[in-house]
């Protein structure tokens, strides 16, 4: 196994230990954490190596690590050696109105339908959002459990916005509309997708609204 693969597997081990240690006061988050853990009990085999990422969002890795190191997380130390070797991507269609999104937002899927550890049942990865960036309203059929590793950002769900600090979980139920907006700090967060459909990717809702507007006679 390559050194990079070993670093990523160490990170996965630390993430699983983190979920096991989770004692949330929110029953829905406890249930979802248990569901994620049961799906991670048998890891898929590695179908491709983890290699250095050339995605433009990697330019913001240092800001994300700074945010993470200002906060406490039981797996922050395991992120640093692995973070540049994760399969960073931005898998929305490019937008003429927001051309920078593809270089200021990134998702590193470690386990999932297109990840080096292939699974159609569960996704596990990191989301990185550069400072002063709005990740616009979007939704997806998968149930999404986020854990904020670093960065205070404004998270909006069903139209209600709140500042979420590092160390908190955020649960997005299937197809609920949500967004995140960073201020001076980059946001680094752990995500897991479960539910009936972890294959269908996320779509933006602000574009959908504009398109609907255009369709009106
Ligand atoms: Fe989401």
* Contacts with 216 (C-beta within 8 Å, 6 or more apart), sequence order: none
Tell me how far the alpha carbon of residue 3 lies from the centroid of ligand 1, in angstroms. Answer: 31
Tell me how far the alpha carbon of residue 1 lies from the centroid of ligand 1, in angstroms. Answer: 32
**Calculated CA dihedral for residues 174, 177, 183, 187, nearest 10 degrees:** 20
pLDDT recorded at residue 19: 96
* Contacts with 211 (C-beta within 8 Å, 6 or more apart), sequence order: none
pLDDT tier at 165, thresholds 50, 70, 90: very high
* Strand 178-182 with 134-139, pairing: antiparallel
Separation between Cα atoms, residue 8 and residue 139, nearest integer Å: 28
pLDDT tier at 215, thresholds 50, 70, 90: low
- Token reading at 142: 């998968």
Average pLDDT of the chain is: 93
- Token reading at 177: 């509309």
Tell me how far the alpha carbon of residue 217 lies from the centroid of ligand 1, in angstroms. Answer: 32
Is 216's pLDDT higher than 80?
no
């Amino acid at each position: 196994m390559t050194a990079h693969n070993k670093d990523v597997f160490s990170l996965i081990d630390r993430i699983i230990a983190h979920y096991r240690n989770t004692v949330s006061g929110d029953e829905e988050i406890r249930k979802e954490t248990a569901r994620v853990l049961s799906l991670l009990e048998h890891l898929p085999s590695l179908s491709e190596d983890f290699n250095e990422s050339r995605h433009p969002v990697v330019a913001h890795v240092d800001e994300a690590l700074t945010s993470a190191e200002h906060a406490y997380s039981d797996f922050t130390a395991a992120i640093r050696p692995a973070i540049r070797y994760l399969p960073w991507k931005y898998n929305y269609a490019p937008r003429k109105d927001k051309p920078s999104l593809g270089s200021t937002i990134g998702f590193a899927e470690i386990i999932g339908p297109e990840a080096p550890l292939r699974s159609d049942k569960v996704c596990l990865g990191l989301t990185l959002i550069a400072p002063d960036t709005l990740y616009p309203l979007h939704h997806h059929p998968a149930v999404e459990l986020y854990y904020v590793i670093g960065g205070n950002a404004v998270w909006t769900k069903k139209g209600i916005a709140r500042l979420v600090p590092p160390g908190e979980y955020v649960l997005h139920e299937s197809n609920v509309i949500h967004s995140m907006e960073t201020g001076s700090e980059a946001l680094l967060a752990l995500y897991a997708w479960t539910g009936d459909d972890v294959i269908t990717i996320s779509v933006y809702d602000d574009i959908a609204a504009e398109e609907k507007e255009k369709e009106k006679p």
